[in-house]
Amino acid sequence: MIPTDDRGLLLGDGLFETMLALDGDLPHLTAHLDRMAAGCAVLNLPFDSEEAERLVHEAAPAAGRFAIRLTLTAGSGGRGLDRPAAPVPVLFAKAAPSAPVTTPAALIVATARRNEGSPAARLKSLSYLDNVLARAEAVAAGVDEAVMLNNRGELACAAAANLFWIKAGRLFTPRLDCGVLGGVTRARLLAVHAVEEVAAGIEALETADAIFLTNSLIGVREVSKLGDKDFAPHPLVNTLL
């Protein structure tokens, strides 16, 4: 039970990670824990990686495909913004069934923006309302996802995924300083493929040969439609991971 004075509940003061479990195996657990540890360093919060690993393994069912969410809050605090001198974080993990996604995605461009000047834009923080609003726009439009621009009008990400596109056989993705969360699957792609990290406007997608999304649950998901523009399947996408 989360106490009513928990800072994650009241202020969004905390972090989360969502990772894939397959028959009890967590193939990219270390990368997720490393990202949470790095986020805690930015927020000046203590992080017990051994305890986090134990909780995640306990939460992962032995059979089936599940999303495991690891949540860390800054713990209880008094009224106002200031933390206690020695915060005691709350850490817990929970599993939910996660069916594989096998269909391409249709996208719109959201009106909600990413704040590229905020440190929180590069953290998987509990303050996720901009992404919630962007996804709500997609749902209202009857599509799968929403592309988010930053305050400069540059491409940033999708509401719950990193964004890539292909042009003339070259791979592109927005730079982290465009207000991008450095996804675990994004990092895997950058480690094994020549991907150009750029600052670009929506015209880069409109003139692309293909667009695809990545996150830890969907892996790589090709895009079939952006607004009124249709995209044919691209042979390169299925070779990426």
Identify the band that residue 49 occupies on the pLDDT scale cut at 50, 70 and 90.
very high
Domains and CATH numbers, the chain: 7-97 (3.30.470.10), 105-239 (3.20.10.10)
Longest dimension (CA), the chain: 56
Q: Exposed, middle or buried: residue 176 (CB in 10 Å: 0-12, 13-18, 19+)?
A: middle
- The chain-wide mean pLDDT, for the chain, equals 97
Rounded Cα distance, 61 and 68, in Å: 10
> Residue 79 has what pLDDT?
85
What pTM, to 2 d.p., does this model score?
A: 0.95
28-40 pLDDT tens trace? 999 999 999 999 9
